[in-house]
Amino acid sequence: MDPVPARDLTPLEAAIRSFNAGEDPSAGVLQRAFLAGRVRVLSASEIPTDGTLDGARLFGLGGAEGEGYLVVFTDEDRVPEDVGRAHPWMLVTSGESALGLTTQGITVNPGSDPTLAVAVKSAGVEDMRALARARHATADARAARAPHELESAIAATGVDGITGVEILRFAATLWPAAVVVPSSRPLEGPIDLDACYTFGPDDGRLLAVFTDRDQLGEFTAAHVLETTGGELVHRLPDGASLIINPQRPDQLALSAEGLRLMATMAERPMPPDPGAGAPTPEPPTSGAPAAEEGRRRGLFGRRRA
């Protein structure tokens, strides 16, 4: 295998490595990362412009290499040189779309770094199809109702996340907002992260929280805690962060340090809305430096799980 140039792992590659290391034994994070990720499908014949593929010519389908499994790669640099020569055409597509190319299993990155390779059996592929259907159902449910105030506040943050006085405004929206947390057992007292859906390493875990039950989708759970944003923050263990509506269009991550800053600001009076016609006052001197520091350090930003 040719050496792969040093680069950051894609989210799917990171999920595979975590799964292979035993950090995600349920495969849930891996399956969600596959659906959301981009994969490369190789073909021995030219791929039409409409993207239709001849299954018999795909690498891994109809051949002994994959034993009936569809073979995909997470990036071009994961394709072994001999495989690339025999299958010179490539389709870049989403993991979810790749599910439609096989009735059996999927092998990811064969012949590459073994910590970044994984095989998903046909039952696992069916599980991912079910997850995709649940995700689409959340989008349909969202479209059928008016957005909640917290959802509107997240949508208004923009690509750079929450900045300046907006931090204070967002805290004032988050604290009384209704949120739901799926868990495997009832949550009483401090939040038990091991009973919940989380993302990230153990020393910086992000708790999955949702703006409505209709956004849970594939995040199935035996129990659902209904609380407010402020109450939830106070019940978080030290060092825990939040990710609101993970893997949804309005996903927003809030770091532990950012939440602490919000907690100190949540009781402050709201500054007047500049759009209301009143003169725009300077932000409170005690809060503005902290808010600006939070913006510079990326404490309140959009992030993919």
C-alpha span between 18 and 23 (Å, rounded): 5
175 Cβ neighbours under 8 A, 6+ residues apart: 228, 229, 230, 233, 262, 266
* Mean predicted confidence (pLDDT) in 183-204: 88
Nearest 10 degrees: CA dihedral of 130, 247, 211, 225?
Answer: 60
Q: Which pLDDT tens digit goes with each residue over 196-239?
A: 999 876 667 899 999 999 999 889 889 999 999 999 999 999 88
227-258 b/e (C-beta count within 10 Å ≥ 16 → b): bebbebbebbeeebbbbbbbbbebbbbbbbbb
Q: What is the pLDDT of residues 3-56, one digit of tens each?
A: 555 689 999 999 999 899 987 666 778 998 999 899 999 988 887 776 666 666
Q: Phi and psi at residue 253, in whole multiples of 5°?
A: -105, 140
pLDDT at 280: 45
Q: How is the chain split into domains, by residue range? A: 11-136, 149-301
| 23-32, 55-64, 151-160, 236-245: least confidently modelled range | 55-64
Q: Where are the alpha helices (DSSP H) in 192-238?
A: 229-235
Alpha carbon distance 93, 72 (integer Å): 10
Residue 215's alpha-carbon distances to 32, 202, 266, 280, in angstroms, are 15, 25, 26, 37
- Cβ pair 71, 31 in contact under 8 A: no
| Percent of the chain clearing pLDDT 70 (strictly above) | 76
Residue 64 has pLDDT above 50, yes or no: no
At 176, the pLDDT band (50, 70, 90 cuts) reads very high
Residues 37/94, Cβ–Cβ less than 8 Å: yes
The pTM of the full predicted model, rounded to 2 decimals, is 0.65
Is the pLDDT at 2 greater than 60, yes or no?
no
Tokens standing for 78? 């994961």
Would you call 163 exposed, middle or buried from its count of C-beta atoms within 10 A (0-12, 13-18, 19+)?
middle
Residues 212, 214, 215, 220, CA torsion sign: positive
From the list 162, 152, 259, 167, the residue with the least C-alpha distance to 205 is 259
Residue 150 near residue 173, CB atoms below 8 Å: yes
Lowest model confidence (mean pLDDT) among 1-15, 39-53, 136-150, 289-303: 289-303
